[in-house]
Amino acid sequence: MRTVDIIIKKRDKEELSKAEIDFLIQNFTSGETPDYQMAAWAMAVLLNGMSHQEITDLTMTMAASGDQLDLSEFGGQVVDKHSTGGVGDKTTLVVAPVVAACGLPVGKMSGRGLGFSGGTIDKLESIPGFRSDLTTEEFINQLREHGIVLTGQSVDLAPADGKLYALRDVTGTVQSIPLIASSVMSKKIASGADAIALDVKVGRGAFMKDLDQARELAEVMVAIGKLSGRRVIAVLSQMDQPLGEAVGNALELKEAIAMLKGTGPADFHEHCIDLSAYMLILGGKVVDLESGRKLAQQAFDDGSALGKFKELIEIQGGDISMIDHPEKLPLAKFVIPIVSESGGWVKVVDAKEVGESSVMIGAGRARKGDQIDPAVGIMVRVKVGDKVKPGQTLFDVHVNDRKSFDTVFQKLKASVELSDEPVEPPPCFWDVLGLN
């Protein structure tokens, strides 16, 4: 078997066998297949696509390229979630303890933020002492004893994906849906979860800008799940405007704590309730969305979700006084408002512009390895459909120096568009796939 023959076969729109995909990925991971050949193959995939079976074989081979967690002792009950990334998306901080409080073990390895897509681990590390570097043994023991784990992704998890992603990033092949789907699912499968809820973001602040593309990606990932013996649900959620109000690490953590205590933005609450319900369906706790929503809401109302979050923070070394007193979390020196010069109905709050502004003031990373400031961020004070008066606050910008505010003032101001006519707010979710 030769790599060049596999490239030619995909160039000519033929379907690759599992043996050919295994050969290609194993040789690329070991260094025997050079980057230039792998780049040629990735471009052929971008142009010609792959069948669901090919993508599943690619996913499973990449998952097997490194460590894999064996969670079989939990009897197929472990649930996980993955978001394709958005602005103000602090959902994991809420849904993980909600679902765990309802009796399903939640084991999740999360990444750090890059660009304007925030990372769950960065948010949790706003809490002094919180450990995000659990070993595999610690991960499994904690899941067994406490039913919830949120930790950083192991470097030995699907190393083939890491190597292929780095190559895609510099060869114009990031946009390939088969390669995106196999990248996401290989890490999820290597993490050992039996059931996976996928939150596929759509819109200005998402990787997928239009609904058709997002639906295609979701369909492929659901198909991979079925073919690999996992239970998968994918929701298509809006990301034209930020989720909730808070954008920035400590600010988002505070908003998540407030939500667990029963207060917070309506769109964030709806998102968390529905996503929790879908995870409860996946884990067999409920049979439909309505009963899942009721069970999730009960975990909010009786305080068990908040209690589970405190338990998570404490067992991973964090200072739980920050949960009871979130005002102790990192604070910026200045909070500067941006106000509207005119009145009307909010037509656009551009999530991409808000997200990029948060990176510019230090709340995110432009490059891997950049330091972030947990205290800084943006509070978004208006939503699409709101009626705004002249002088009303659009944003509160939390910064540690006024110069960084000056760099984003015009960008943020321009991110809000007003209409003379009433505007209909967007739905929280566009669709859900994989329920049947």
The residue written with tokens 């039913």 in the block is: 147
Q: Which residues are catalytic?
A: 82, 161, 168, 183, 187
Pick the closest to residue 261 from 314, 316, 310, 311 (CA basis).
Answer: 310
Q: How far is CA 212 from the centre of its chain?
A: 20
Sequence letter at residue 219: E
Rounded-to-integer distance, Cα 173 and Cα 203, Å = 20
Exposed, middle or buried by CB within 10 Å (0-12, 13-18, 19+), for 390? exposed
Q: What are the DSSP E strand ranges found in 353-412?
A: 377-380, 387-388, 393-399
Query: Crossing angle for the helix pair 159-169 and 52-63, nearest 10 degrees?
Result: 120
In terms of residues, how long is the chain?
436
Edge-first strand order for the sheet with 416-419 is 387-388, 344-349, 416-419
How many beta carbons lie within 10 A of that of residue 136, not counting itself?
Answer: 16
Rounded-to-integer distance, Cα 20 and Cα 388, Å = 59
**Residues 6 or more apart whose Cβ sits within 8 Å of residue 266:** none
Rounded-to-integer distance, Cα 158 and Cα 252, Å = 29
Rounded-to-integer distance, Cα 226 and Cα 436, Å = 11
Assigned token pair, 253: 């953590």
How many beta carbons lie within 10 A of that of residue 253, not counting itself?
Answer: 26
